[in-house]
Chains A and B, each alone.
Chain A
Amino acid sequence: MIEVKDLSIEIKDQHITKHIDFTIRRGKITSLIGESGSGKSMTVSALLGLLPIDAKVSGYVMYEGRNILDASVQEMASLRRQDIFTIFQDASNSFNPSVKLGHQLYTFSGERVGDTLDVFNEKMHVILDQLGLAWEVVEQYPFQLSGGMLQRCMIACAFYVEPALLIADEPTSALDMVLQKEFIQLLIRLNEERGTTILLITHDLDIVAEAAHEMAVMQQGTIVEMGTVETVFSNPRDAYTKRLLESRF
């Protein structure tokens, strides 16, 4: 679905990523794993067209047959609005602290797909129910809820929008172990029930083992290994991947 070819990003003469290639297959959960500073987040910014102004980028990011690195600002904006949904690390910072959640959930979901408030209320009610959230959260402010609940609210929006691609950038690193597991289950559900393609960025191999179908290992701006989770786990070829896997057990 998305094919990244020969992507290099350079900021102030510093190579952030060097000639990386990977593919995100439709309907699969692909995981991008690597230590902090390996260029994961910048790669995602490149996919979203949100790189800093002084960044130089070359290569191809093919999406539905065209290179979105060449897309205009408007095209990119509409792509981000309609096709891609992003979940960030810390949901408590992803919501405006002084606006009630109901309104924000609507802007994040219903408004984006062009639903009226009534349609939104009906659909969201069902989704929140399924995710084990009380409808009362819409009357609350973000600081009244826990990080786990807010992250679930975010994924509720993803359930609502049913984006072509969901990008989750370290979605669980602000959550404790139990909530992490719960959240990963929700991601898997979203993938299985709605067939949503998910790009999961993480530094946690356990999460990859649990959720992902395919994985790409990133180290210092290059992809050192790419394949299905089973093959990489059972038969790692790269030294760095081996080290990663060893440190896990």
Chain B
Amino acid sequence: MKSRKTLWFWCCLLGLIVFLTVFSSLLAPFSPNKMNMEEVYSAPSSEHWLGTDHLGRDVLSRLLEGGKVTLAVASSSVILSLVIGVVYGGISGYFGGVIDTVMMRLLEALITIPSLIIILVFQAIIQGGMWGMALLIGLTGWLVTARIVRSEFIRLKEEEFVKMANMFGTPVWKILWGHLLRNSIPAIFVVTLFNFAGAIFMEVSLSFLGIGIPPAIPSWGNMLYYAQNDILIGAWWIALFPGIMIFLTILAINFIGEAWKNPERRRVND
């Protein structure tokens, strides 16, 4: 009962953050890129709730708009990695044998290279923008998903109901879709949630290093990057609020993921 309430709380918080960022263009009090040189570095006040930055831009507006960018990059990359992971892991798990061995050795080789390094290198070479980065994060983030899908498929294909469907001559795609994938959803959901948190973190890290989202587009990571200098002159609000948002979002996703990991919520016993 208690865990249900906590889950509820974190879902609401995440929902609120998503809602605020999705409708940022309606909710933001100022245009995120509107500069006002007369109000540079003004502390939080009734007019600018979260203050302004070194160009006099409203931090709240940039925070909401930046959230949209960060979450858009994270979601699109997660969807991409989900698709690749499910297909790769599915093929490997369903067919097994030599195919499985080859695919898993390849995956293990890839998993030893930290994805941050790969993304750093490619991002530096192709100088990718927002979508380029989403693509890179997606292309490097499917490894764990593939592993999970593979192990679920291997476990499920030995189950009696799958054998039974096979015996009745159910078409392979129906077994893959309706029997194997459908019953892997809880596990895939959890790993995708954690991937999502990871993707947000990746965007923030890269932008913080100055090679992520181009400067003209606000994102949470970008805001942190530019706030580095501002902190030195005492403008704490520019860094604090994006920091809190990143912290809360990742925390919420992790708590939701943890709650779902709880086997009591699953239908198929491991």
Contacts and interface: CB of A to CB of B under 8 A. Distances in A.
B168 A88 contact: no
A92 to B, nearest CB: 9
A154 to B, nearest CB: 10
Chain B contact residues, majority secondary structure: helix
A52 to B, nearest CB: 12
Nearest to A78: B169
Nearest to A77: B169
B168 A81 contact: yes
Interface string B181-195: 011010000000000
Contacts of B54: none
Interface of B: 159-161, 164-165, 167-170, 178-179, 182-183, 185, 267-268
Nearest to A79: B169
Contacts of A108: 168
Contacts of B179: 96
Contact of B182 (A80, A81, A98, A107): A98
B161 A94 contact: yes
Nearest to A143: B267
- Most interface-central of B160, B165, B182, B183 (chain A CB within 10 A): B160
B178 A80 contact: no
Contact of A98 (B164, B167, B168, B183): B183
Given A99-B178, A99-B182, A143-B267, A94 B164 contact: yes
Contacts of B161: 93-97
A217 B32 CA distance: 83
15 contacts: A80-B169, A86-B164, A88-B164, A94-B160, A94-B161, A95-B161, A96-B161, A96-B179, A96-B182, A96-B183, A97-B161, A98-B182, A98-B185, A98-B268, A108-B168
Given A96-B183, A99-B182, A141 B267 contact: yes
Contacts of B183: 96-98
Contacts of A50: 167
Given A96-B161, A96-B183, 9 more contacts: A50-B167, A80-B169, A86-B167, A93-B160, A98-B185, A99-B178, A107-B168, A141-B267, A143-B267
Contacts of B159: 93
A123 interface: no
Nearest to B184: A98
A144 to B, nearest CB: 10
A105 to B, nearest CB: 13
Nearest to A104: B161
A97 B178 contact: no
A102 to B, nearest CB: 14
Given A48-B167, A77-B169, A80-B167, A96 B178 contact: yes
Listed from nearest, the 4 A-B pairs whose CB atoms lie closest are A93-B160, A77-B169, A97-B267, A96-B161
A95 B182 CA distance: 13
Contacts of B165: 96, 107
A164 B129 CA distance: 66
